[in-house]
Structure 1
Amino acid sequence: MAVTAVVFDFFGTLTPSTPAGVWDDHAARSAAPLGLPAGVWRAALDSSFPERATGRLGDLAAAFRTLARRNGLDPGDEALAAACAARLAAQRELFALRADAVPTLSELRARGLRLGVLSDCTAELAESWSQLPLAELVDARVLSCEEGRRKPDPELFHLIARRLGVAPQDCVYVGDGGGHELTGATACGMRAFMLRAADWADNEAHSREDDWSGPSLPSLSDVLSLLPRLP
């Protein structure tokens, strides 16, 4: 296998899995400034994910204003700003990487491999990207909220390969299976591996491929055993 690049999913792959209770808590924190019940706001966030993850609702403030209006509120600037600040703080907690993420990516770079991130995500990740330690380790990123499409759209997989300067057939793809990403990567010629870490069952992912029958890895660091050091 002539691999020259590795593409990683972000949430639940480079970061730990996120249980439902954490999402409930985060929704409550951004609902409070708006005066909405936490459950109502959580439902609004869940149902709007396809729109927010493809950028159709604009930046975070625009998206939150739209969602509040859908629930019969027209929040003032102060309440909206407080809700957005609470959301950003909560999301940044989810940007913390797995303990073996930086060592694994650093070693892959030392071996001469190109590294990419392909994520279905909302505007918060794009806005925070430059502040993440990950940004210095990754050669290219493709974020759904910036591209207007979600996994398993083949254009996303071809786009990350182009940005890495490689063919899809030269890429290994690693993800927890959210958004049917493994099937999507495979269809584009990448060799896909499911990251099935110890916390995999805790993750509340969108359209996850729980029935994936392809190869899997128990930890991120196991990617290293797949790939040799390039000359």
Structure 2
Amino acid sequence: MIKGVMFDFSGTLLRVEPTEEWLGAALAETGIAPAEAEEHAETVRRLTEYGALPGGPSPRHIPAHLEALWDQRDISAEQHRAAYGGLIRAAGITQPELAEALYTRHMAPAAWRPYPDTAPTLRELRRRGLPVAVVSNIGWDLRPVFRTHGLDDLVDAYVLSFELGTQKPDPVIFRAACERLGLAPAEVLMVGDDRRADGGARALGCPVHFVDHLPADRRPAGLSPLLDLLGPA
């Protein structure tokens, strides 16, 4: 019987803004004038190709000198910044102030949008008395994002890779979440979008439910079906 739920963050409960908006916000922050339309579009394309936006599209290819760092990017805040800073530079961003603004922008609550059914699903779990943990591979503190979007009171525990020094699919991170919820792994449902990373919860005996990592406006009801998995309210 399911008595608690673990959720991934990016692509599961919230989704980061599109790459073009991310770049626009950083340009506005720095006061750098946008390039002509064609050059601006090319910059967006390169940032997308290199997967430079954390939480955005995955890199289509990773420069060889960043491969090892990329694999361990969520172990610490320093590695996360180094990995994504490297991808931003690889995408052709040469102005240091713009590169810094791009990295900083993705951590702003305004850069994140809850999926339409995130709040209703979390409220329903709260109504049913099922505790919730957010389990994320991440290099920074996402709690302000949840507070800003009015979701923090619906989360009982945050288990973040950079705070533990390990990342999904390592069972250690899922075990920590179960312990903080005070439940056995078999009693905790893991909900995420990454088959490999989030699927690591199965090694502990947790049931797993996957959702599609889509833009927020293209996935209006991806979380709602999991309530059916939990049985009658």
- Quick check: TM above 0.5? yes
- TM-score, structure 2 normalization: 0.66
Query: What's 1:195 paired with?
Result: 211
- 1:29, distance to aligned residue in structure 2 (A): 5.5
Query: What's 2:110 paired with?
Result: 92
Contact in 1 for aligned 2:26/2:105 (Cα 8 Å): yes
Change in 2 beyond 3 A, CA 1:140/1:83: same
Distance 1:121 1:135 in 2: 17
Give the counterpart of 2:76 among 35, 55, 60: 55
Contact in 2 for aligned 1:119/1:144 (Cα 8 Å): yes
Q: Number of residue pairs matched?
A: 204
- 1:119, distance to aligned residue in structure 2 (A): 1.3
What secondary structure is seen at the aligned counterpart in 2 of 1:110? helix
Change in 2 beyond 3 A, CA 1:144/1:179: farther
Matched, 1:163 2:159: no
Pairwise mapping of residues 65-76 of structure 1 onto structure 2 (< 5 A)? 75=96
For residues 151-191 of structure 1, give each alpha carbon's deviation from its aligned partner in whole angstroms, at most 9, with x where no partner exists. Answer: 10010110100011111111111112254312x11111101
Query: What's 1:113 paired with?
Result: 130
Contact in 2 for aligned 1:29/1:86 (Cα 8 Å): yes
What secondary structure is seen at the aligned counterpart in 1 of 2:152? helix
What secondary structure is seen at the aligned counterpart in 2 of 1:220? coil
Indicate the percent of aligned positions where both proteins have the same amino acid. Answer: 31
Pairwise mapping of residues 17-28 of structure 1 onto structure 2 (< 5 A)? 22-23=18-19, 26=22
Pairwise mapping of residues 1-231 of structure 1 onto structure 2 (< 5 A)? 2-16=1-15, 22-23=18-19, 26=22, 30=26, 38=43, 39=46, 43=50, 45=52, 47=66, 49-57=70-78, 75=96, 82-89=101-108, 92-93=110-111, 95-123=112-140, 125-126=142-143, 128-182=145-199, 184-196=200-212, 219-228=222-231
Point out where structure 1 has 5 or more consecutive residues left out of the alignment: 204-217
Distance 2:139 2:208 in 1: 24
What secondary structure is seen at the aligned counterpart in 1 of 2:142? helix
What secondary structure is seen at the aligned counterpart in 1 of 2:224? helix
Contact in 2 for aligned 1:55/1:145 (Cα 8 Å): yes
Contact in 1 for aligned 2:132/2:154 (Cα 8 Å): yes
Query: What's 1:213 paired with?
Result: none
